[in-house]
Chains A and B, each alone.
Chain A
Amino acid sequence: MRVVLLLVALLLSGPVSAQTVVGDAIPQSLTGEPGDAARGRAVVANRQVGLCLLCHTGPFPEERFQGNLAPSLSGAGARWSEGQLRLRVVDAGRLNPATIMPPYYRTEGLERVARAFAGKPILSAAQVEDVVAFLMTLKE
């Protein structure tokens, strides 16, 4: 078994805490606490906060106009482990450099970020955990 242990120990001086990537996953919660799935659902559905439904569809019967640029979120919790989902939300580009998925919890290596968002990740660590907790409930 090949377990790549990548210590992202760039103790990022900014607002993003360090994460330990193991293989294609971040096994540990970014906050040390489990997320809240109900709050996570609200983040995912909110087009100004999570932005997820701009590209993904999912089990949100009340939400009109969901995007079709990315896989459906339905079944995400069955396809991936919690740690795999966490890395995909934090920075999907580490797995697929060509991805269109924004890095939700990264502030380094971005070009020309608008002043209002400079130095800030798209989601806070707690929001990432809430989203991961919600995605884990999507078993089918």
Chain B
Amino acid sequence: MRSLPAIVSAGALAVFLVTWAMAQTADPRRSGYQEMGASLRAMQDDDSANPGMLWVGEGRALWARREGAAGKACADCHAGETAMAGVAARYPAFDAATNRPIDLGQRVNRCRVEQQKAEPLAPESRELVALSAFIARQSRGQPIAPPDDPRLRPFVESGEALWRQRQGQLNLSCAQCHDDNAGGRLAGATIPQGHPTGYPIYRLEWQAVGSLKRRLRNCLVGMRAEPYAYDSAEYAALELYLMSRARGMAMEAPGVRP
């Protein structure tokens, strides 16, 4: 029979090893959700309190509405609430027609023009954001899974270069805040790591749901840099880089953020 001290020290060693092993394997990435207080997390978690669900509902109605000269609704081809499950988790994707990445909103517009014979929706328009929210909601809980497409690689790389480029009168890069100083406090706000897990998000500052591009624009304006045009290659590259950086993290759309 072993002595009590031997059992205690073996137990302590086991606890230490397990803790150490967990620390080695723990994912250091944190969703902005984890930086929020309990009340905002509760607002996101409860569909009846999450304002983003209003946009999801609007998107659901638009999904079923016949549009354009073809008189087709999105739902005529993609019926049901799960037809688009996982789709938002793998956008932007490579678009062979234009030889560049295409984001979810641009993909919706592609369908509008080609299938519905309708006018494309304006970037960041209420309707496009609502449709995107309806689609992204169907990926909630799924891991972010950017396509493993070698044609995307140069765009991911240019997105990372943009992420690290100093810009604007304040001469800051995205990485300086969201990699190097994430978790620190910029005035009253905790700097998040900047993972695009919740988009489109309901942002309290906006009192509305908006896309990742709109959020990137906010940072650029804060850096006193010239924002990119909404359909620019730069935003697509940045989105693509951010999705690859967040690979495997769970989708939360529609997220709620301060």
Contact = CB atoms under 8 A, between A and B. Distances in A.
B185 A93 contact: no
Interface residues of A, number: 25
Contacts of B226: 112-115
Contact of A54 (B187, B220, B221, B227): B187
A68 interface: yes
A102 B170 contact: yes
Contacts of B181: 69, 100
A1 interface: no
A55 interface: yes
A108 to B, nearest CB: 11
Given A102-B170, A110-B169, A67 B186 contact: yes
A47 B170 CA distance: 13
B184 interface: yes
Interface in B166-203: 166-172, 176-177, 180-181, 184-189, 191
B20 to A, nearest CB: 29
A102 B169 contact: yes
A47 B187 contact: yes
Interface string B114-129: 0000000000000000
Main SS of the interface on chain A? loop
Given A100-B176, A117-B224, A110 B171 contact: yes
B225 interface: yes
B188 A64 contact: yes
Interface size class of B (residues with CB under 8 A): 20 to 34
Contacts of A103: 171
Contacts of B168: 110-114, 117
A102 B187 contact: no
Contacts of A68: 184-185
A112 B221 CA distance: 11
A113 B186 contact: no
A55 B181 CA distance: 11
B165 interface: yes
Interface in A98-140: 100, 102-103, 110-117, 120, 122
A87 B166 CA distance: 20
A53 interface: yes
A20 interface: no
- What 7 A-B pairs have minimum CB-CB distances, sorted nearest first? A65-B188, A117-B169, A102-B170, A65-B187, A69-B184, A68-B185, A54-B187
Interface of A: 47, 51, 53-55, 64-69, 93, 100, 102-103, 110-117, 120, 122
Interface of B: 165-172, 176-177, 180-181, 184-189, 191, 220-221, 224-227
30 contacts: A53-B187, A54-B186, A55-B186, A64-B188, A65-B188, A66-B187, A67-B184, A67-B185, A67-B186, A69-B181, A69-B184, A93-B171, A100-B177, A100-B181, A102-B170, A103-B171, A110-B168, A111-B165, A112-B167, A113-B167, A113-B168, A113-B226, A114-B220, A114-B224, A114-B226, A114-B227, A116-B224, A117-B169, A117-B224, A122-B169
